[in-house]
Structure 1
C-alpha cells in the first residue's frame, strides 16, 4: 500500500483507523519511526496537529477528524484507480493482507500461500492470525480465511478444501490408565483438555450421532486456548483432546494418538476465502482467488 506515492495520507488514515502508530505501521509494512515521521511531516506542512498523543493513547484532534473525513473517501478513490491499473498487469505486485484463524492459516500456508509467492515474486503476503472474528474492511485487510458458516453475509465467499471434522484423541499412555469412551457421556468420567474460545468462554464439545445431538462441558484440570498446545498436551498424556482431524492427522496416522468416538463427530462446513464485493479486484487478490480455485480442493 505504501508504494502508491501517498504515504503521508495513508499513514494518517491508518493511524486513525487503528488508533495506534505501531499497529498502523504493521498494516502499511513500514517502521514505526518512518510512519511517525510521515505524519509529523504532514502536520508540519499543514500547520495543525492531526492527532492528540499521550503515552497510552492516540486520538484524532478536531482538525484531524475534519481532515480524515474529507481525505479518506478521496484516498479510497485514488487507491481504487491504482488497483484498476494494477489489475491490467501481467504479473501482480504489492501487498496482500489476509486475516485468518490460526488453524486455517496452518492449513493454507504450504499448499496455497507459499505456492502463491513462488508464482508471483513481486507480491508480499501479510498473514495475520487471531482467534476472534474482525471486520476485515475496518482492519485494512484485503481478505479473510475462516469457516464458511462464520463469514458475514455481505462478503463474497470462495469455499475450498474438504468439510471439517473434529476428533477426540488421547495418547496410548493415557489409555493404558483409562478405558476408551464408548459414547460422549463417558467423557464426564475422563480427564479432558479444555479449550477456551477467543471470547474467553469455555468451548463445549459438540457431538452428533445415533439420532442425538449433544454439547458437553467436559471436566478437566487444564484449559488452553491454542490448538498446538492442546495437541502437545494430548501427546504427553494430559488427557483427551477435541481437535480438528486435520491438525491431529499425523499423530493419529503414526500412532501417537488414538482416535475415539468416531461415530459421534459431526461434519462441519469447511474453510473459505472471503473479501468485500468490488467492481474490480486488485490483481494480487484476483490471482490468489484463481489459485484457490485451482488447488484449493487439495488443501
Structure 2
C-alpha cells in the first residue's frame, strides 16, 4: 500500500512540475499562453482615504478618496521580491483634491519623479526590470485624463462709476479640480497650473437707474495684465427701475504657459448719461481644451 501511495505522490509531483514549466490553463484544456483563463478574472480592490499611502505588495486596483491633497508612494525597487511586470491601477475619486504618485526616493516613473492625478483621472503603471534605487523603475502605461474646469462667481452687488476700469471681483469658487488652489479670491486672479490651450468665459449682469438712457459696459479678459478680448453689452432703461437687468458675455481661447495669470475687468461707459452702474453678478469659467 505504501508503495502504491508513494508512486501516486511521485506521479502527481511530476505532473505538477510539468504544468509549472509549461502553459497553464483554467477552464481550457489546451492553453495557448503561459496562463490562459477561459472566464472572469479578479484581483485586489482597495479603497484608500489617507493622505499619505504606500502601495502594498497585495495592491492591484487602488481607489483613492482623500479629503486633502495626497501622495501615493510606489514600493522601493531594492527591497522585497522582484516585482518586474507588476501592474498598479490608481484612480483619483476625490471631487477636488489631487493625488501625487511618487516613484519612491530617486526612482523615476518614465523619467520623472512624480505623476499628478486630478480628480477623476486614472493611471496604469507597470514595474520595469530595473531594480536599482535610481532610474526608470516604473513606466506609465496609460493615463486617463479628465477635463480641467474651473468656475468662480459672485452675487455681491458693486457700484461702478463711469469711465473707471474695475478688476472683476469674485467671492466664491463654484468648482475646482484641486481644492481652489489656482484662484486667489483676494486678488481675483487665476494662475495657469499647466501649459495648454484654455477657453476663458466671463459673464456679468448689471443695471443702472438713470431714466431713458442707453448705456454700455465693456468686459475684458486679460492675460498677465494685457487685454486679450473685449466685448460690450448695453443697458437700456426706459424708465427708472432697478429691476431692469442686462447681461454681457466675453470668451477667448488662449495658449497659456504655466504661471500665466488671467483676470477679468469691466469699464462702464464715460459720458453716456448714467453716472454709475451696479454690477450685480459675475462669473468666470475656465476650461482646458
When normalised by structure 2's length, the TM-score is 0.25
When normalised by structure 1's length, the TM-score is 0.24
Larger radius of gyration: 2
Q: Which has the higher helix share?
A: 1
Name the structure, 1 or 2, with higher relative contact order (CA <8 Å, separation 6+).
1
Q: Which has the higher strand share?
A: 2
